[in-house]
A and B are shown apart, each in its own frame.
Chain A
C-alpha cells in the first residue's frame, strides 16, 4: 500500500512537467509527419499491400527507435529524476515516512509508466495514421484487420530494449546534481552506439538495443541482464549514499 501511495505522490510531480510534454510531443511526432505525407499524397494503408499493418508498424518504429526513442527515454528519465535536484527537494522527500526502497522504486515506477505512456501515444499515432487517411480517401477501414497480437508483442520487445537505457539514466541522474551529466553521457552513449553499429560487438553497448532490434529483431537476453545488473548497482549506490539531501 505504501508503494501505491508513494507512486501516486511521485506521479503528481509529473503534472505539467517537461517530461510529460516531451512524452506527448515525442509520441505523436513521427505519426504526425506520416499523417501529413499521407494526406498530402492521398496515400492510405492499403498502398502497402499484403501485411500492410506489419509494414506500417515496422516503418514507423524504424524511424522512431533508432534515435528518437532512446533520446526520449534519456531525456524523460533524466528530467524526472533531476526534478528533485532542480527544486532542491531531495531533503524534503527523504524526511517523509517512506523507506528508501519505496522511494527508489516508486520514482523508477513513474519513469517506467511515463515510457509506457510514450509508447501508448505513439501507437495511437500509428493507428490514427492508418485509419484517418483510409477513411478520408477510401471511405472505410483498411483492407486488413489490425493484428493486435503482433502490435502487443512488437511493443513489448521494443520496450524491453529501452530498459537498460532507462536504468543507466536513472543511476546517473540519481548520483549527479548537474543535469548535463546524465544528458551528456546518454547522448555520447547513443551517438557512439549508432556510429559503431557495423561493429560486430556493438551489442555490448546498452544504448544500441533499440536500433539493433528494429533492424534485426532477433531475441536477446542482453537488455534484461543489463537492466537487472544496473538496477541492482543503482539501488545499492542509492541506499549507501552518505548525503540524502
Chain B
C-alpha cells in the first residue's frame, strides 16, 4: 500500500510558469523515499501541495489512502514535516518552541525532552532559538516533526546546514525510525550521494516531470545497463568498423571505442578480430557509471 500517492499532479504559478507537469509519485508504506532533483525542479512545490500548503489546481493527492482536501486534520495528526528553511520562533527557547506543538498535539510533556535528546539539543537551556546556528535550527525543526511520533515524515532537504557528522547522525536517525517504528519517510534532496545511502525508493524530478521512479535496486540495474566496455586501441576508426560488424553501436572518443556491456565471449571475439586485423589493443575495461552520472544524464538528457 502507498502511504503517499499523487496522480497527474499539475501546478502552474500565477506568473504562468508550469512548475509541475502531471507528476505521479508513489511512496510505499514504511519506505524511505528519496525525492531527488536539481534546484528548481519542483520538489518543494510538490511537498507543499502534498501538505496542503498550496491550493491544488489539477490532479489528485492521497495520503494514507485519503485526500488531503477532505481529511486534512486527520492526515496531519499522523504527519511530521519540515519544509525548506527551519520554522522557529526566535524569541523562544528550544523547549518553548516544542511546547507550542505539544499543546496542539496533546502529546505527553516528557516527549519534549525525549526529542531534544534525540536531535542532540538537550543542553541548549535558556538559549533563544534565534541565536542557534543553522544546523541547530535544522535539528530543532526535526525535533518538532518527530514530537508527536508521526507515522509519516516529510522532510524537505533536512540536512541543509548540517556538518558532515550531523548529516551522518541524521541519516542514522531516519534509518532507525524507519526500521524500528516503521515510519514512512519522504525526504527531498538535490544530492544523490546523500540520499543513496539512506533511501529504499527513489523518485527523480526535473523541470516538473518525474524522470525515474522505483527502488534503489532499479536504479542500480539502470546503472549496470549504462555501463560500457571500453577498447583503447591503435586505430579508433578501424576498431569502430569491427565493432559495427558485430551488430553493436560504438561510441567513439579520442583514444577509445565504447560499447554497451555484452557477454564476455563477445568481448573476446571483438578482441580476436582486432588482433587479426593488425590493430594493437592497449586496454579493455568495463566502465561503470556511478549513480551521480546517471542522475546527471537523466536530468541533462531529458528533452523537457
What B residues does A47 contact at CB under 8 A?
Answer: none
What B residues does A68 contact at CB under 8 A?
Answer: none
* A97 in contact with B105 given A242-B54, A243-B54, A244-B52 (CB within 8 Å): yes
Give the contacting residue for A89; candidates B72, B89, B96; CB below 8 A.
Answer: B89
Residue pair B89, A87 in contact (C-beta under 8 Å): yes
Nearest-neighbour CB distance to chain A for B49, whole angstroms, equals: 11
The CA of A97 and the CA of B73, in the complex, are separated in Å by: 4
B303 interfacial contact with A, CB 8 Å: no
B182 interfacial contact with A, CB 8 Å: no
The CA of A94 and the CA of B72, in the complex, are separated in Å by: 10
* A243 in contact with B53 given A83-B89, A88-B87 (CB within 8 Å): yes
Residue pair B83, A9 in contact (C-beta under 8 Å): no
User: Helix, strand, loop or mixed for chain B's interface?
Assistant: mixed
Q: Per-residue CB proximity of B96-119 to A under 8 Å, as 1/0?
A: 100111011110000000000000
Residue pair B96, A12 in contact (C-beta under 8 Å): yes
Nearest-neighbour CB distance to chain B for A141, whole angstroms, equals: 41
Among the listed stretches B74-82, B232-240, B285-293, which one makes contact with chain A, having 4 or more residues with CB under 8 Å of it? B74-82
Residue pair A13, B87 in contact (C-beta under 8 Å): no
Q: Per-residue CB proximity of B28-66 to A under 8 Å, as 1/0?
A: 000000000000000000001001111100000000000
Q: Per-residue CB proximity of B259-279 to A under 8 Å, as 1/0?
A: 000000000000000000000
Residue pair B53, A12 in contact (C-beta under 8 Å): no
B210 interfacial contact with A, CB 8 Å: no
The CA of A133 and the CA of B105, in the complex, are separated in Å by: 50
A216 interfacial contact with B, CB 8 Å: no
Nearest-neighbour CB distance to chain A for B96, whole angstroms, equals: 6
- Report A1-53 residues with CB < 8 Å from chain B CB: 5-6, 8-9, 12-13, 15-17
Nearest-neighbour CB distance to chain B for A4, whole angstroms, equals: 9
- Report A89-128 residues with CB < 8 Å from chain B CB: 89-99
10 extra interface residue pairs, beta carbon distance < 8 Å, beyond A13-B89, A94-B51: A6-B103, A13-B92, A87-B89, A91-B53, A91-B83, A94-B53, A97-B73, A97-B104, A243-B53, A243-B55
Minimum-distance CB pairs A-B, first 7: A92-B87, A9-B103, A97-B76, A97-B77, A242-B55, A89-B87, A97-B73
21 intermolecular pairs with C-beta atoms under 8 Å apart: A5-B103, A8-B103, A13-B100, A16-B91, A83-B89, A87-B88, A88-B85, A89-B88, A89-B89, A91-B48, A91-B83, A92-B144, A94-B53, A95-B79, A97-B72, A97-B73, A242-B54, A242-B55, A244-B52, A244-B53, A245-B83
Interface residues of A, Cβ cutoff 8 Å to B:
5-6, 8-9, 12-13, 15-17, 83, 86-99, 242-245
Interface residues of B, Cβ cutoff 8 Å to A:
48, 51-55, 72-74, 76-77, 79, 81, 83-92, 96, 99-101, 103-106, 141, 144
